[in-house]
A = this chain, B = another copy of it.
Amino acid sequence: MSGGDARRDEMPEIRQHTTIPIRVAQRLPMYHRHLYELPMDGVTHISSAKLSAYMGVTASQLRQDLSHFGRFGHHSYGYRVDELFHILTVILGLTRKHKMVLVGAGHLGRALANYEGFARRGFYIEGAFDIDPSVVGGKLAGIEIMPVEELAGFLQRSKIDIGIIAVPADAAQDVADTLVDNGVRALWNFAPRRLEVPQTVVLEHVHLSDSLMSLAYRLHKLDVCKNQTAYRC
């Protein structure tokens, strides 16, 4: 779409109406995160080689991934960090605010509610719910915890984008149903339970144990392979 190279003072055109391989989509948040961190180290411009090394991918992979969305980067000095950060912000749809509800005010729910990184990215918890009467009425990150029976009514009154499911496995499907039936189109599920949702709803399931198994596997490989790199024997 954009005919020539991006120039210094012009924001390059961003193609968003494009089919993206799922693996590319999965790397975008990581790119965004690294681009947020770089200016903290005083980096404002960076070569493609250095940026990709910092992010743990190859330079050609980074270039290829970004090429789905347009022509970014400059022949002379690589990437402007602020520009590329903005581009990733647009691609990911983070230029707008996201409203969330949290269902489950246990330790995990509280940890999530207190995570400062979410508000910085425009993600706000607008309501928190729990089934436990001893918890209901208390506060969580400044928000009053409501009884879960009020979840449906709350969703009908408020436009909520994302439902966070931080309840025990047995309760997760019921919570998901209530969220979906009342217009929530994105679920962030922490319950160790496979959820059934309509195809029009997006679902991210956080499997913490996968990450621990992966760590164990790499430790095991260290022992099996008796050398310093985790995947090579």
Pick from B19, B210, B215, B228: contact of A231, CB below 8 A. Answer: B19
Cβ of A3 < 8 Å from any Cβ of B?
no
Pick from B16, B30, B117, B212: contact of A224, CB below 8 A. Answer: B16
Is the beta-carbon distance between B228 and A200 smaller than 8 angstroms? yes
Is the beta-carbon distance between A216 and B92 smaller than 8 angstroms? yes
Chain A interfacial residues counted at CB < 8 A: 71
Is the beta-carbon distance between A30 and B231 smaller than 8 angstroms? no
What residues of chain B lie closer than 8 Å to A214, measured between beta carbons? Answer: 25-26, 28-29, 204
Cβ of A171 < 8 Å from any Cβ of B?
no
Minimum CB distance partner of A41 in chain B: B194
Is the beta-carbon distance between B204 and A215 smaller than 8 angstroms? yes
Cβ of A153 < 8 Å from any Cβ of B?
no
* Cα–Cα distance between A107 and B106 once the two chains are bound (Å): 8
Cβ of A32 < 8 Å from any Cβ of B?
yes
With A17-B224, A188-B211, A202-B222 as contacts: A217 and B107 at CB distance below 8 Å: no
5 contacts across the A-B interface (CB closer than 8 A)? A28-B217, A93-B221, A94-B216, A107-B107, A204-B218
Q: A20-B231, A188-B212 are in contact. List 8 more A-B contacts (CB 8 A).
A: A22-B231, A29-B211, A29-B213, A33-B213, A93-B220, A93-B223, A98-B219, A206-B211
